[in-house]
Structure 1
Amino acid sequence: MILVKKEGVILRKTPLDFESQAVLNPAVIKQGNLVCMFYRAVSKKNYSTIGFCQLNGPLEITKRLNLPILTPMGDTESRGIEDPRIVKIDGCYYLTYTAFDGFNAMGSLATSLDLKTFKRHGIIVPVISFPEFKSLAQHKCKLNEKYSRFAHDKTIITMNTRLLVWDKDLVFFPRRINNQLYFLHRIKPDIQIASVNELSDLNKLFWTNYLLNFNHNILLTPKYDHEISYIGGGCPPIETTEGWLVIYHGVHDTTKGYVYSACAALLDLENPEKEIARLPYPLFKPETAWELSGEVDSVCFPSGTAIFGDTLYIYYGAADEQIACASVNLSALLAELSTFRITIL
């Protein structure tokens, strides 16, 4: 098994109103020796905004804003913006997050050229009810019954709000691949993948055709015990000589509730729709006090990484209350993954 070092908690909640309940699930991007962190900040009424801090090196926080850098806008974000991820593509920063209106949780996008001002693009995942989704997705093959089980609602209209398929964990790849923008998203229980020439292609017709071929767009499905309930996107994919390294989360339902672990897989560099390796055990799981007890117990939720030398630092939400970091030797992790390469017969 690969050796992972738990570096400990690096960011905690404060008495400030916007982050007095929790800080968790950060987006991370490295600039030279600095690490910029955009994190989910939760107020006492479970209302989320995006906070910002800066690290010198992987672990030392040297700057932290006293106000959110991003706050909810419009009806689709009326109950908060959650769980950001960030990449830089062609000189532009893509910050993805979940927009929550109290009923629906949907993958959304904001872009920036300077990490200070952001342009909102709104929801970019399919806006569709579960019955509509199921009808399209089963057009060519039977849908895994777990999709129905995890649907938040299938038929009911509540308080004049249309209940939609929850589509979260929206994560872009950090460069174009074969001139395409690729991204991961998650409709439980699997991780799906999509690609477009431009963001403007993400319209109703695109998603209708995508869902009509839904089975071909499922990238990763739960496979091992630690992820058997469902999985979801985590950190932005990392380009390596061995393939795209994907650190994602896997969930196992136990008698004491769900356990969220950090997991690792490799995708083909030129064809990221192809899984080539996966660890058959968690990269790391809840073991310490700060991971086992919090707003939600037993959670390690990876969402951002930074590489210093040959060390990969993985930033994660710990028990949905604070932000912690774990580190692993990148070469050793890739070597370990190579021993579990998938053989295609």
Structure 2
Amino acid sequence: MPPKVKKHGVILEKTPHNFENEGVFNPAVIKEDDTVHIFYRAVRIGNYSSLGYCQLKGPLEVVKRNTSPIFFPTEDYEFQGTEDPRITKIEDTYYLTYSAYDGINVFGAYATSEDLKNFTREGILTPVFNYEEYSELIRENFEKISEKHLLFYELFVRYKLNELMKGKIYVWDKNVMFFPKKINGKFAVLHRLWPSIQIFYFEEKEDLSRAFWRDYVRNLHNHIVLRPRYHYECSHVGAGCPPIETEEGWLLIYHAVETTVKGLIYHASAALLDLENPGRMISKLKTPLFSPTEEYEKKGVVDNVVFPTGTAIFGEDLYIYYGAGDDCIAVASVKLKDLLNELKQESE
């Protein structure tokens, strides 16, 4: 059984400010001393997203909140949204990753900062292949993965959207995040080519050439970290919060999506990855860490959603910050030791 989780309720909701008058959710979180910095997805009417900023004293008390976005779309590839951020710090640099949405396609992009105030865009981090290119590449080792890797794109073919868009339908890549340290001298990055979680490594962004990605997608089975396995993740999974280094392994809080007759249900779950080789999963929970049970999780812009995207440790407690119902930001906590012990038992 998963350890006991305490839900602390909603800490952030939408406001009348025009950049966040439709919803605030899916926050990037980084803790420094007793301060928690939160960069959250702020949505204005019309589904245009930017990133808002607030600051917590301790795990729950909001003490500062900006009245304008701290990061917003400026490039064509993110025209309609800078969405669902995550943040990590490696040495003296902060790495803010986000989903760049142009109104049709979603790419994983990132920016860097030295002070959490000024961010420099570094561009798209994930592969840029249209559906036909992706389909051709991934089919080369199809028997080693799953047909589900193409089901997401059948809609484009069924309604001939790819023809209407003249090849401008690209493979979606979401839930991108850096590990908080380099692994064997390289950046390690989790991402999600639907429906599983994968990992890639690089030294310089220039290493991520078209040739690199062609080989990567051809051999995607070698890069999968977590696959949908249990009933509560039968639709797909996605990396949630940046991994946490522990003595037992990298702790990954992720979201898992269940298909039901009443629609999709988004759960939060946990897994352990090997410290030296985080592409190898040690264990994961057989049942969700927590699920939509509260009204603010069950009813929202999208119903039945808990979507974890950031964590902070205070004492013995791991606080998990998540989007609830694609509408607001809520917090849950769990004893870190209890969670690690449960994951250790799952691996035995």
Superposition TM-score tier, normalisation by shorter sequence: over 0.9
| Contact residue 137 and residue 215 of structure 1 kept, 8 A | no
Q: Secondary structure at the match of 1:116?
A: coil
| Contact residue 176 and residue 189 of structure 2 kept, 8 A | yes
Of 306, 312, 315, which aligns to 2:312? Answer: 306
Residues 117-126 or 143-152, more deviating: 143-152
Matches of 2:172 and 2:156 in 1, distance apart?
10
| Contact residue 233 and residue 257 of structure 2 kept, 8 A | yes
| C-alpha displacement of 1:57 | 0.4
| Contact residue 19 and residue 44 of structure 2 kept, 8 A | yes
| Contact residue 71 and residue 81 of structure 1 kept, 8 A | yes
Matches of 1:113 and 1:182 in 2, distance apart?
20
**Which residue in the other structure is 1:153 paired with?**
156
**Which residue in the other structure is 1:236 paired with?**
242
Question: Matches of residues 256-275 of structure 1 in structure 2 within 5 Å?
Answer: 256-275=262-281
Question: Matches of residues 163-242 of structure 1 in structure 2 within 5 Å?
Answer: 163-242=169-248
Computed over aligned residues only, the root mean square deviation of the Cα atoms, in angstroms, reads: 1.2
Residues 307-316 or 138-147, more deviating: 138-147
| C-alpha displacement of 1:309 | 0.9
Q: How many residues align?
A: 342
| Contact residue 129 and residue 165 of structure 1 kept, 8 A | yes
Task: Encode CA deviations 1:61-92: one digit per residue, 9 max, x unaligned.
Answer: 00000000001011111111100000001211
Q: Does 1:294 align with 2:313?
A: no
Which amino acid counterpart does residue 145 of structure 1 have in structure 2? E
Task: Encode CA deviations 1:152-183: one digit per residue, 9 max, x unaligned.
Answer: 63561435561001100001101001111101
**Which residue in the other structure is 1:11 paired with?**
12
| C-alpha displacement of 1:55 | 0.3
Matches of 1:38 and 1:103 in 2, distance apart?
24
| C-alpha displacement of 1:140 | 3.5
Could you state the TM-score of these two structures normalised by the residue count of structure 2? 0.96
Q: Secondary structure at the match of 1:263?
A: strand
Show structure 1 runs of 5+ residues with no match.
none
Task: Encode CA deviations 1:79-131: one digit per residue, 9 max, x unaligned.
Answer: 11100000001211000000101110111011111111111112110000122
**Which residue in the other structure is 1:60 paired with?**
61
Show structure 2 runs of 5+ residues with no match.
none
**Which residue in the other structure is 1:109 paired with?**
110
Task: Encode CA deviations 1:210-266: one digit per residue, 9 max, x unaligned.
Answer: 112111011110011111111111000000000000000000111111000001000
- Judged with a 3 Å threshold, the aligned counterparts in structure 2 of structure 1 residues 138 and 161 are, in CA distance, closer, same or farther, namely closer
Matches of 1:212 and 1:252 in 2, distance apart?
28
Question: Matches of residues 36-55 of structure 1 in structure 2 within 5 Å?
Answer: 36-55=37-56
> Percent identity at matched positions?
51
Q: Secondary structure at the match of 1:339?
A: helix
**Which residue in the other structure is 2:146 paired with?**
144
| C-alpha displacement of 1:297 | 0.3
| Contact residue 173 and residue 182 of structure 1 kept, 8 A | yes
**Which residue in the other structure is 2:260 paired with?**
254
| Contact residue 130 and residue 167 of structure 2 kept, 8 A | no
Matches of 2:205 and 2:60 in 1, distance apart?
34
Q: Does 1:121 align with 2:122?
A: yes
- Judged with a 3 Å threshold, the aligned counterparts in structure 2 of structure 1 residues 292 and 331 are, in CA distance, closer, same or farther, namely same
Task: Encode CA deviations 1:195-217: one digit per residue, 9 max, x unaligned.
Answer: 11222212212111211211101
**Which residue in the other structure is 1:33 paired with?**
34
Matches of 2:222 and 2:173 in 1, distance apart?
17
**Which residue in the other structure is 1:21 paired with?**
22
- Judged with a 3 Å threshold, the aligned counterparts in structure 2 of structure 1 residues 19 and 175 are, in CA distance, closer, same or farther, namely same
**Which residue in the other structure is 2:91 paired with?**
90
Which amino acid counterpart does residue 314 of structure 1 have in structure 2? I
Matches of 1:271 and 1:49 in 2, distance apart?
34
| Contact residue 232 and residue 257 of structure 2 kept, 8 A | yes
**Which residue in the other structure is 1:317 paired with?**
323
Which amino acid counterpart does residue 34 of structure 1 have in structure 2? T
- Runs (4+) of structure 1 moved beyond 6 Å? none
Q: Does 1:341 align with 2:317?
A: no
Matches of 1:338 and 1:226 in 2, distance apart?
20
Residues 144-153 or 83-92, more deviating: 144-153
Q: Secondary structure at the match of 2:73?
A: coil
| Contact residue 256 and residue 269 of structure 2 kept, 8 A | yes
Matches of 1:284 and 1:6 in 2, distance apart?
9
